[in-house]
Amino acid sequence: MKERIKQGIAVVKKVEVKELDFGNDTDLIEEVGLTSIQIMNLIFYLESEFNIIFDDDDLDLENFQTINNIEKVVNKQHV
Amino acid sequence: MNILVTGGISSRIGKNIVGRLLEEGHTVIATYRNDISNDKLPQSERLHTFKLDISEEADVKDCFNHFFNEKALPIDTLINNAGTNVGGMLTQLKTKDWKEMIDTNLTGTFLMCKYFSKYAARRKKGQIINIGSSAANGNLPYQGGYNASKAGLISLSKTLAVELAPYNLRVNIVNPGFIPSQLNQFSEAKEIEETEKSLLGIKHNLSNLVDFISFICADSLSGVTGQEFNIDSRLNK
């Protein structure tokens, strides 16, 4: 799942996934430089990629700030 | 094509659109808010109905989950036609009536677009047709809530067109001209007044509106999004 999330980050940043060199706990906003619009596009991408619809209550920035956090919130939607 | 039409049973415009789309071989999902007897429905195996209050988020979620997932009937085109109008001077308009118009015409359309987009984006194809109104760009008195809600619909639609274009989803607005219906407090005097405004002296453009919707649903505007189309013969409204 982490690789699919990373692929989504590459898509919204419009770069190749091989260009993304950071860990699963790296801050996607502060360190990777995702903008708020790119985060919104990432959320929409993830919904499509994983066939889920996030609950409004889960749409907190913190849930999308690292790959590990994203994995947790995606898994929560599957329950 | 699989096409969902809100207000596709009870409204005059909706019924005409649904009838034409069925004639042309499309599969149509017509939604309704208030119960209606089956004998008033067009008889077709390709017609599905779904009871739905578009201003209720849970209803909207259920609707798209039902058709995209449970029925495996992916919707290609969403036509947001449901709407309501409560007349009156803005200074006397009851707040509950204002809210009803905003909830149905604007929030309801927003919810339909929001959840349709989530499913349609997975398929990387789909279009939304929002039925607007000439009232959106005008200042017709005694229907200020309706005018404001339809003006909001234009902004909503154009913004969505920008946001959804990367997913190959298109959004356009079709503004009908004057069409006598329960929405515009139809009266004979009103019809005469509107006919006088028509450059062609015609009473209404319902058949042209249905023709145009049918044209769009046939994917004839696959390269067009974010646009507003007026199906009208009046310049001064």
* Beta strands B169-176 and B228-231, pairing class: parallel
Segment A26-63, tens digit of pLDDT: 999 999 999 999 999 999 999 999 999 999 999 999 99
Segment B49-61, tens digit of pLDDT: 999 999 999 999 9
> Looking at the predicted structure, is the pLDDT value of residue A79 above 60?
no
Query: Average pLDDT in the B58-85 region?
Result: 96
Q: For residue B33, is it within any domain?
A: yes
Query: Average pLDDT in the A12-36 region?
Result: 94
> Looking at the predicted structure, is the pLDDT value of residue B134 above 90?
no
- Residue B39 CB neighbours (<10 A): 6
> Looking at the predicted structure, is the pLDDT value of residue A23 above 90?
yes
Q: For residue B85, is it within any domain?
A: yes
Annotated active-site residue in B32, B142, B146, B167: B146
Q: For residue B15, is it within any domain?
A: yes
Nearest to B168 by CA among B229, B111, B227, B225: B225
Which CATH number is B15's domain given? 3.40.50.720
Q: Is B191 exposed, middle or buried (0-12, 13-18, 19+ CB in 10 A)?
A: middle
> What is the per-residue pLDDT for B184?
62
> What is the per-residue pLDDT for B214?
97
Least confident residue range of A7-11, B19-23, B125-129, B138-142: B138-142
Q: For residue B138, is it within any domain?
A: yes
> What is the band of B223 on the pLDDT scale with cuts at 50, 70, 90?
very high
**Per DSSP, what are the bridge partners of residue B172?**
B129
> What is the per-residue pLDDT for B109?
98
Kindly state the percentage of chain A with pLDDT values over 70.
97
- Structural domains of chain A, ranges and CATH numbers in brackets: 2-78 (1.10.1200.10)
> What is the per-residue pLDDT for B185?
59
pLDDT, chain B, mean: 91
A71 touches chain B (CB under 8 A): no
Q: For residue B237, is it within any domain?
A: no
Query: Average pLDDT in the B137-164 region?
Result: 93
Q: Is the dihedral of CA A33, A37, A40, A44 positive or negative?
A: negative
- Is residue B3 within 8 Å of B75, Cβ to Cβ? yes
> What is the band of B235 on the pLDDT scale with cuts at 50, 70, 90?
confident
Number of domains within chain B: 1
Domain interval for residue B190: 2-231
Place of tokens 């149905």: B104
Nearest to B154 by CA among B126, B132, B124: B132
Q: For residue B236, is it within any domain?
A: no
Measure B94 CA to nearest chain A CA, in Å. Answer: 31
pLDDT, chain A, mean: 93
Q: Which of residues 59-88 of B touch A (CB under 8 A)?
A: 61
- Comparison of pLDDT for B35 and B232, the residue scoring more: B232
Annotation says B146 is catalytic: yes
> Looking at the predicted structure, is the pLDDT value of residue B67 above 80?
yes
User: What residues of chain B lie within 8 A of the CB of A53, using their CB?
Assistant: 61, 115, 118
Kindly state the percentage of chain B with pLDDT values over 70.
96
Question: A48 vs B167: CB contact, 8 Å cut-off?
Answer: yes
Question: A48 vs B121: CB contact, 8 Å cut-off?
Answer: yes
Segment B160-213, tens digit of pLDDT: 999 999 999 999 999 998 887 766 656 777 788 888 888 988 888 899 999 999
> What is the band of B79 on the pLDDT scale with cuts at 50, 70, 90?
very high
